[in-house]
């Protein structure tokens, strides 16, 4: 499998990256871990005449927790997420999700930034970021701007990021309450048939707040405000979970593929979400 030829760049500053992106327009792509882009290039489904490798730029990876805000640099790998004890203490849902992504070798290379910026509906981090109400930090020729994860995804591979912008970091508030990332996949390394990210906080035995997003059940991640709202004020019993699942099923729009027909995916979505809510509640 030989990809089309390309010009390779390894700039050492973000200014250098932005200059290359401006010069080459949509003929250029940035490369992080490469585990989505390189397979597509090998299949010649992606043609990237100018490939800009971000590995030479200092300061793009790392996790900081400061004043209730978690910041994860774009080049931070899934392996880094899993190994970061402070992050796991503050937001255990991150490692729980990262451990269900691909396999060990892919997790050493695959980055958080690549996972969220690629816009692949099968990627796990976009739904998780929507659940956590994360913000994505972009830099471009006009300077820096921030886009909410819940506003970032337009359709498959189409996002709010402009061609000449680079995602530099994600930030989110330290989550409160119980968490769960539940994923159904056919085998290790596969994308989700359905996956759910859930955060629930408890007050006086009732659900105080709930945030629920699902993965690979539409051409974007699906954060369902109604599903979360269906739990608030309840004891998170069987009826409440049923109502939340019904609300989510009204918001997803799966398509048939080799993971199954639509009816099967909707069935799996309900099971996965029910389990995720129950687990998050048990930890709240």
Partner 1 sequence: MSNKMHVKLNVNGTDHEFLAEPRELLIYALREKLNITGPHVGCETSHCGACTVTLNGKSVKSCTMFVAQANGAEITTIEGLGSPDALHVLQENFKEHHGLQCGFCTPGMITRAAKLLEENPNPTEEEVRFGIAGNICRCTGYQNIVKSILSAASELNSAKEAAQ
Chain residues that interact with partner 1, rule: CB under 8 A: 1-8, 10, 31, 34-35, 38-39, 41-42, 49, 51, 53, 55, 79, 102-106, 108-109, 188-189
Query: Which of 31/276 has CB closer to partner 1?
Result: 31
For the CB of residue 187, give the shortest distance to partner 1 in the complex, in Å: 9
Q: How far is the CB of 75 from partner 1 (least distance, A)?
A: 13
Q: Minimum CB separation from partner 1 for residue 33, in Å?
A: 9
**Could you count the other beta carbons within 10 Å of the beta carbon of residue 60?**
21
Residue 227's H or E segment, with its range, is helix 225-231
d(CA 144, CA 158): 20
User: Which phi and psi (to 5°) does residue 160 adopt?
Assistant: -75, -10
Cβ nearer to partner 1, comparing 6 with 264: 6
Element (H, E) at 135: strand 135-140
Instruction: Name which of 122 and 140 has its Cβ closer to partner 1.
Output: 122
Measured from the CB atom, the residue of 108 and 264 that comes closer to partner 1 is 108
Question: Smallest distance from the beta carbon of 282 to partner 1, in angstroms?
Answer: 22
The half-sphere exposure of 263 on its side-chain side, counting CA atoms within 13 A, is 0
The candidate with the shortest Cα–Cα distance to 125, out of 110, 146, 138, is: 110
């Amino acid at each position: 499998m030989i990809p089309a030829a390309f010009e390779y760049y390894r700039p050492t500053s973000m200014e250098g990256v932005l200059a290359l992106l401006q010069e080459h327009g949509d003929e250029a792509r940035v490369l992080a871990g490469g585990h989505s882009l390189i397979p597509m290039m090998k299949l010649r489904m992606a043609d990237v005449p100018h490939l800009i490798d971000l590995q030479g730029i200092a300061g793009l990876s790392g996790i900081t927790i400061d004043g209730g805000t978690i910041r994860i640099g774009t080049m931070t790998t899934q392996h880094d997420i899993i190994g970061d004890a402070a992050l796991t203490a503050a937001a255990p849902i991150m490692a729980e999700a990262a451990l269900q992504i691909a396999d060990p070798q892919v997790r050493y290379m695959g980055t958080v930034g690549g996972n969220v910026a690629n816009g692949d509906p099968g990627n796990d981090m976009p739904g998780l970021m929507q659940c956590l109400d994360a913000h994505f930090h972009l830099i471009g020729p006009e300077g820096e701007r921030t886009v909410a994860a819940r506003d970032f995804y337009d359709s498959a591979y189409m996002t709010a990021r402009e061609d000449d912008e680079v995602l530099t970091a994600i930030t989110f508030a330290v989550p409160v309450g119980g968490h769960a990332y539940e994923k159904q996949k056919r085998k290790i390394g596969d994308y989700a048939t359905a996956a759910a990210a859930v955060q629930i906080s408890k007050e006086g035995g009732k659900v105080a707040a709930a945030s629920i997003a699902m993965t690979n059940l539409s051409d974007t991640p699906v954060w369902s405000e109604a599903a979360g709202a269906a739990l608030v004020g309840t004891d998170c019993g069987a009826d409440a979970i049923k109502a939340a699942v019904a609300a989510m099923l009204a918001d997803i729009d799966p398509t048939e593929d080799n993971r199954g027909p639509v009816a099967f995916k909707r069935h799996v979505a309900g099971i996965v979400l029910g389990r995720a809510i129950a687990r998050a509640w048990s930890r709240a």
